[in-house]
Amino acid sequence: MRAYMNYSLYAVVDEDLLAGRDPASLAADLAVNGASVVQYRAKRLGSREFLRRARAVRAALTASGVPFIVNDQLDVAFLSGADGVHVGQDDVSVVDARALMGPAAVIGVSVSTVGEAERAEAEGADYLGAGAVFQTGTKTDAPLMGLDGLRAIRAGVKLPVVGIGGLNRQNAAAAIAAGADGLAFISELMSAQDPGAAARELRAIIDAAKRR
């Protein structure tokens, strides 16, 4: 899995923004409409319910072959059969995540500085979630790094870099031009009336920017 990852459109299914929709059905819809990775995030669910829903998302994504990543919670990632886990600076270390998940697991790390990026790379991360690239209402405590910060991280490491934070149809191409291997979208997908159509449009923008 790790050698063949395509991070172009990294879709985040956020439990807090579902508005009554089923996360498994939404994940499957995004996967068939251009998402190349799907992460499931549930900051306020208890572990038991998080695991139940994560297993449903895992099952829904199996046919598509799109990698499934669980946000933050290592136990849920492991027990749900996820392809990997994404951790923040205050979560478990890459080394500990790897010890539990195994050598084939995809381990992503949130970073906002070159130093954090270099440390994650040295510890054996598979990719970086770099942000916030732009102002975001989804994670208000994330430091704003801008396109210059994204360029600096891209220049400082060899790992795939996924831009995150405030990304939309208007600024996606600029983030790719700044060196991002892929872009993570939360609100732009979760707030869309038709998330599948939004995923198709965003993937087309990303693919066109990469060709340029």
| Active site residue ranges | 41, 110, 139
Task: Give the number of other Cβ atoms within 10 Å of residue 64's Cβ.
Answer: 15
DSSP assignment string, 3-71: GG---SEEEEEEGGG-TT--HHHHHHHHHHTT-SEEEEE-TTS-HHHHHHHHHHHHHHHHTTT--EEEE
Of the candidates 117, 74, 71, the residue with the CA atom closest to the CA atom of residue 96: 74
Distances (CA, A) of 178 to 17, 70, 147, 157: 29, 27, 6, 14
CA–CA gap between residue 172 and residue 161 (Å, rounded): 14
Task: Give the number of other Cβ atoms within 10 Å of residue 46's Cβ.
Answer: 9
Q: Which residues are CB-contacts of 169 (< 8 A; sequence separation ≥ 6)?
A: 188, 201, 202, 205
